[in-house]
Structure 1
Amino acid sequence: MAERPTTGWRHGIAEEAAEIAAGTLDPECACMAGLFPEKLLRATDAVLDTFEDRLAELGNAGDEQVFAVVERVVLALNAVDEAHNGSAFETDEREELCDYIDQSLTEHGVDVVALTARHGLGRYQLTDKWRKW
């Protein structure tokens, strides 16, 4: 099953906290908690919860239905990013979120390569139409 990006971000925060507690990391060098405040993590998880619920409904959905699910998750992530001054998701986070969307769709029977090809898109352009982050 695709791992949510927020799981990895939380793990990074915990690792840094443990290193600080052990004295192996200078608190001045820790950045994860600042990059991923709990408010951002909760908001992102709420969006991904809704996305996952909609995935279960796809079954034998047509292209338009799949694109509608992608559009909704991307627009909701845009709102999260905007609520964090447009800096919630940097390059690595964007890639992780896009990969998560792609992997999750694939795990629910969507052939992302075929879907995007039918619409004149490359595989990694799935979210581009709506994505602002």
Structure 2
Amino acid sequence: MAERPTTSWRRGVAEEAEELAAGTLDPDSACMAALFPEELLVATDAVLDTFEAELTALAEADDAQVFAVVEGVVLALNVVNDAHDGCAFETDEREALCGYIDQALAEHGVDVVTLTARQGLGRYQLTDKWREW
């Protein structure tokens, strides 16, 4: 299964905390805990839990059903982003989330390239219609 971006983000927070505790990182250089507070990670994971639960039904789904699931996860991530003053997901995080959505769909039998092409979209425009982050 595709690795959730939150897994990587948590790993970065933990590694930074270890470096701080060991004295190998200048506290002024530490940023991971501020970028990824626990409440952001928990909220993002809750959205991804719902998304993953909906993936199992998509192998035989039509385009409208797939796009409904994508819309749902994107709108829910918009809410998470809004709760963090519109700053929850910066460029790297946006790319990681979009990549995760794409990969998770593909792993559940959705041909994302074909799906988006049928809608007149490029592959990487899958989330654009609803995404505010």
Q: Would you say same fold, with TM above 0.5?
A: yes
* 1:54-77 residue CA offsets vs partner (Å, 9 max, x unmatched): 001213000000000000000000
**Which residue number corresponds to residue 95 of structure 2?**
95
CA RMSD of aligned residues (A): 0.5
Q: Corresponding residue for 1:40?
A: 40
CA distance in 1, matches of 2:6, 2:96: 9
1:132 lines up with 2:126 in the alignment? no
Structure-2 residue corresponding to 1:7: 7
Q: Secondary structure at the match of 1:53?
A: helix
Unaligned runs of 5+ in 1: none
Relative to the length of structure 2, the TM-score reads: 0.99
Q: Is the aligned partner of 1:117 residue 2:117?
A: yes
Q: CA deviation at 1:30?
A: 0.5
Number of aligned residue pairs: give it.
Answer: 133
Identical counterparts, % of pairs = 77
- Return the offset for 1:3: 0.3
Q: Give the TM-score, by structure 1 length.
A: 0.99
Structure 1 consecutive aligned stretches of length 4 or more whose deviation exceeds 3 Å: none
- Could you tell me which runs of 5 or more consecutive residues in structure 2 were left unpaired when the two chains were aligned: none
- 1:42-121 aligned within 5 A: 42-121=42-121
